Homo-oligomer: A and B are copies of this chain.
């Protein structure tokens, strides 16, 4: 950590400042600059609070050199983490995992049917929402426990592990019972109580990036879960908010090589929410695989225009099968498979 003090800070203040820093167990190196005095802190600065230091009125700027995360940091854990989701491996050099399914779980039959279609098309995991985060209190909020049960049933029939979003900590027991991969939605990425709760389970977590969060904040959210004891975290990019009005979100594929560099966790791309438009899903799926994604999570519905939610971004099972097929060829070019 680098700290600069303002020109003309009284020397007594400087000395008391250095002492307070040394009290935190770090070594302080001073550089006399032209317009500022600069201090370099050496040692474990993870626990030094930037904001407290900024509170000193003589402080001009504080810069962190070392990343604020440890467990998620590639620097201290150079090998890729491979997460095992009920037998399906994701990350490292494993096959790219295709995850398909409806936005909302709509009923028993439809769920079983779509699970079979996803599997037939080459999907290896089933997605589906039982609890839905909706902007309006008047919109359909999901089937809840009933929906999770249909998913568990679909897993029985097809063998596909299932992923679904958990919106509050008190639902953990039923997610541990019915679900194989627990999703944290974009709007809950910094719901720290939820993250702490997920640190206590061993179920893998699919952590979606918040709509306007930086990659560092996103890794810090993973760090929350890992610090609690659960290292089975999979990162999921689902589009960020930008000024663009032709799409609901802007899918940021640069996170793939960036995360590979900063962390050892697997990375999955959601081109359905990431664009909000089924016409764009195939192109973005192929691009994600070319960039090195470890998996894709795609909305698939028997009849998109009759879906209870998000039909505009759902693929038909046939379109999904085509993405898998073309994606496999791309994967092979970059040394992977599907």
A132 to B228, CA, bound (A): 17
Nearest B-chain residue to A169, judged by Cβ:
B168
User: What are the residues of chain B within 8 A of A34 when measuring CB–CB?
Assistant: 42-44, 66
Q: Which of B220, B223, B253, B334 lies in contact with A284, CB distance below 8 A?
A: B253
- Which of A79-87, A153-161, A285-293 is the contact stretch? A285-293
Q: Which of B33, B311, B334 lies in contact with A65, CB distance below 8 A?
A: B33
CB of A254 within 8 A of CB of B280, answer yes
CB of A246 within 8 A of CB of B216, answer yes
Nearest B-chain residue to A258, judged by Cβ:
B246
Task: Determine if A134 is an interface residue (Cβ-Cβ < 8 Å).
Answer: yes
User: What are the residues of chain B within 8 A of A68 when measuring CB–CB?
Assistant: 135-136, 138
Interface residues of A in 15-67 (CB under 8 A from B): 29, 31-36, 38, 40, 42-44, 46-47, 49, 51-52, 54-57, 60-61, 63, 65-66
- Which of A107-115, A116-124, A189-197 is the contact stretch? A189-197
Q: Which of B75, B242, B309 lies in contact with A35, CB distance below 8 A?
A: B75
CB of A227 within 8 A of CB of B137, answer yes
A31 to B47, CA, bound (A): 20
Contact with B along A236-277 (1 / 0, CB 8 A): 000011111111001111101110011000000000001100
Chain B CB within 10 Å, residue with most, of A140, A212, A227: A212
User: What are the residues of chain B within 8 A of A240 when measuring CB–CB?
Assistant: 242, 250
Chain B CB within 10 Å, residue with most, of A140, A223, A307, A312: A312
- Which of A91-99, A172-180, A200-208, A325-333 is the contact stretch? A325-333
Given contacts A40-B40, A252-B250, contact A133 B190 (CB under 8 A): yes
Nearest B-chain residue to A70, judged by Cβ:
B138
Task: Determine if A232 is an interface residue (Cβ-Cβ < 8 Å).
Answer: no
CB of A284 within 8 A of CB of B254, answer yes
User: What are the residues of chain B within 8 A of A288 when measuring CB–CB?
Assistant: 287
CB of B305 within 8 A of CB of A280, answer no
CB of B167 within 8 A of CB of A169, answer no
User: What are the residues of chain B within 8 A of A143 when measuring CB–CB?
Assistant: none
CB of A286 within 8 A of CB of B275, answer no
User: What are the residues of chain B within 8 A of A38 when measuring CB–CB?
Assistant: 2, 40, 65
A205 to B193, CA, bound (A): 19
Q: Which of B29, B247, B289 lies in contact with A31, CB distance below 8 A?
A: B29
Task: Determine if A77 is an interface residue (Cβ-Cβ < 8 Å).
Answer: no
CB of A66 within 8 A of CB of B286, answer no
Known: A35-B66, A68-B135. 7 other contacts (CB 8 A): A7-B75, A31-B40, A34-B44, A38-B65, A52-B305, A240-B250, A242-B252
Closest 9 CB pairs of A and B: A55-B311, A212-B212, A54-B312, A31-B40, A290-B290, A287-B287, A287-B291, A168-B193, A286-B290
